[in-house]
Structure 1
Amino acid sequence: MNEILSAIAIGTGATLVMDGWGLVRKQLLGIPPADYGLVGRWLGHMAHGRFRHERIAAARPIPAEALLGWGAHYLIGVVFALLLVAMCGAEWLRQPTVLPALAWGVVTVAAPFLLMQPGMGAGIAASRTPRPNAARVQSLITHSVFGLGLYGSALLLNAFKGV
């Protein structure tokens, strides 16, 4: 149970780091952060049997789509952390190392590339966007930052446990 609670804290922290990167990226590069309201819209349409859209921004809005999207975003971050802990074990929680967390962050980019982007109309790995390679690089960087956030959150959690 302690491992589960730790993974929840780590996943939440890593997702916060990823969101912080989105804000920094906007300031440094002028790239807007992800619109999780559109993710909520996509998920909301799934309840009605629609899993793929030509362009999610043009789809009918869903009540509370922003709340749904942001909630899903953090839930997914927690699930990814739970999977990392399941793969690496409690030893990684006691003595976190960067390589497994960073590698896992990179692996998680498969979720948007193969599920979210195609379902929302952007194509596999953003192939239907105006600048697919730029979108791919940004997704890879963002998920790498998530991986570093997993590592940093695990270190921070250990620091608080030691207090």
Structure 2
Amino acid sequence: MLDFIVYSVWLGAGATALLDLWALLLKTLFKLPTPPWHFVGRWFAGMAGGRFVHQQGISQSKPVEGELAVGWAMHYFTGMVFAGALLLIWGVDWVHAPHFTPALIVGLLTVGLGWFVLQPGMGVGIACSGAPKPNQARLLNVVGHIVFAIGLYGTALLVG
């Protein structure tokens, strides 16, 4: 059990850090905005008060103290949970002999949580349908989760 927790933390943190580096690269090369982690924090903080959906958009909701820190923490925690899902399905031994396919499957399946839970909850609609450039947002979501998958695999190669 301890191995499962330790590897979930390592894999999730490593994959999430690679995703963050990817976001910085996109910002530097293409001037794309980095993810709004303060809004993610606002969304998670709102759940504690029973608010799961921000109909008018999360930007219209009242800011929450510490929302940026909450957003970053939940970003990394979620990465660790996704890594734990990979290890639950393929076993902790996957870390010692990783194959890319399981990481890619987890990476692509987790796009669905963003599209059907996070984004509607934040008032952006299903699969970014309410975003200013929904197709661009969808493409960035999918590519970002592939980068996350590469991070899962790469971190397993480093720590396994």
TM-score (norm 2): 0.95
Quote the offset at 1:4 in angstroms. 2.0
1:23 corresponds in structure 2 to 24
1:47 is aligned to 48
Match runs of 1:83-162 below 5 Å: 83-158=85-160
* Unaligned 5+ runs, structure 2: none
Unaligned runs of 5+ in 1: 159-163
Question: Match for 1:37: what amino acid?
Answer: H
Deviation >2 Å, runs of 4+: none
Query: Paired residue for 2:8?
Result: 7
Q: CA deviation at 1:91?
A: 2.7
SS in 1 for 2:32: coil
Instruction: Specify the code of the residue in structure 2 equivalent to 1:86.
Output: L
Give the letter aligned to residue 57 of structure 1. S
RMSD: 0.9
CA contact (8 A) 2:53 2:120 kept: yes
